[in-house]
C-alpha cells in the first residue's frame, strides 16, 4: 500500500475501533445499536454510541484526555509487536492484529480493570489501607503500581488523578477517589512505589459509568492512533527487525543417543 493509503487506513481504524467497541458492548447487552452522530467529535461519539445519550461535556473532556494519555508510549509490548510485523512488509491491518493479540496478555493490558475490581472488593474507604497492607504481607500484587520506564511518578497518572477527583466531585461521590488516594499513599509508605497510568484510569472510567469489561478494549481504542503512527514510520524507513539471541545453557556436552536418555 502507498503511504497515502496507509494514512487513510489509520484514520478509519481509529474511528472503527471505537465504533466496534461500543457496538459489541450493546449487542452483548441486548441493546439496539447506535449510529455515530456526525456533529459529535471522536470522544463524544464513543460515549454517545455506548449509552445512547448525548454525553456530559465534562465526561467528553475527561475521556478525550484519557485517550490522549493512552495514545502512545514508545516501544511498549504491543507497539513493538506491531512494528516487528510491519517490518516484514506485512500489511497495516495484520500489524494492528499483532498489537491487539499482544495487548490481550494480562502483563500488558487489563491492569485498570484489576484496579477497579480491587476497589470494589475493598468496598469502603476506611478499609483501604489495611487491605493493601494485608495483600502486601501475603505477597499479592497491587495492580496499578510500578512501571518499567518510570522510577518516579508516571506523569500520565498525575493528570488522571486530577480527572478522577473532578469526576467524583461532579457526581457528588468521591469515595473511589478517596480510596485510591489512601491506597496510593500506603504503597508509597510501604514500598516506595508510585502509581502508573492504569491506577487512576480505573476511577476515571468508573466516573463516566463505563463498564469495567470495556477498560481494556478502550485501551486499544486509545492506542490505535499510536500503533498506526508507529507503523507509518516503520513503513517509511523499513528494516527487518531481527534481534539476536545469546545461548546461556551448558557447553561441552556429550551427545547421548535417544535410546539411552532417561
Which residues are known to be catalytic? 147, 198
Cell reading at 138: 501475603
Neighbours of 204 (CB within 10 A): 28
- Using the structure block, give the residue that is written with the C-alpha cell 477517589: 177
Q: Quick one: angle between helices 197-207 and 111-122, nearest 10?
A: 70
In this structure, are residues 66 and 163 in contact, taking their beta carbons and an 8 Å threshold?
A: yes
In this structure, are residues 176 and 203 in contact, taking their beta carbons and an 8 Å threshold?
A: yes
CA within 13 Å, CB half, 194: 15
Amino acid at each position: 500500500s502507498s503511504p497515502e493509503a496507509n494514512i487513510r487506513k489509520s484514520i478509519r481504524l481509529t474511528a472503527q475501533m471505537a465504533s466496534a467497541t461500543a457496538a459489541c458492548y450493546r449487542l452483548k447487552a441486548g441493546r439496539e445499536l447506535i449510529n455515530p452522530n456526525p456533529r459529535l467529535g471522536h470522544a463524544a461519539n464513543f460515549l454517545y454510541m455506548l449509552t445512547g445519550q448525548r454525553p456530559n461535556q465534562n465526561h467528553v473532556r475527561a475521556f478525550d484526555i484519557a485517550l490522549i494519555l493512552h495514545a502512545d508510549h514508545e516501544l511498549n509490548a504491543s507497539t513493538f509487536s506491531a512494528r516487528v510485523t510491519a517490518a516484514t512488509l506485512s500489511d497495516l491491518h495484520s500489524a494492528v492484529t499483532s498489537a491487539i493479540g499482544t495487548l490481550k496478555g494480562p502483563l500488558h493490558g487489563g491492569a485498570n480493570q484489576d484496579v477497579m475490581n480491587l476497589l470494589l472488593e475493598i468496598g469502603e474507604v476506611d478499609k483501604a489501607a489495611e487491605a493493601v497492607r494485608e495483600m502486601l504481607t501475603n505477597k499479592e500484587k497491587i495492580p496499578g503500581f510500578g512501571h518499567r520506564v518510570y522510577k518516579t511518578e508516571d506523569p500520565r497518572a498525575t493528570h488522571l488523578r486530577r480527572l478522577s477527583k473532578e469526576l467524583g466531585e461532579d457526581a457528588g461521590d468521591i469515595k473511589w477517589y478517596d480510596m485510591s488516594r489512601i491506597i496510593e499513599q500506603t504503597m508509597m509508605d510501604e514500598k516506595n512505589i508510585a502509581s502508573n497510568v492504569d491506577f487512576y484510569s480505573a476511577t476515571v472510567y468508573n466516573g463516566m459509568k463505563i463498564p469495567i469489561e470495556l477498560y481494556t478494549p478502550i485501551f486499544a481504542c486509545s492506542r490505535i492512533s499510536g500503533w498506526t503512527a508507529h507503523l507509518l514510520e516503520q513503513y517509511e524507513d523499513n528494516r527487518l527487525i531481527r534481534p539476536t539471541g545469546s545461548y546461556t545453557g551448558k557447553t561441552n556436552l556429550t551427545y547421548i543417543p535417544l535410546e539411552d536418555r532417561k
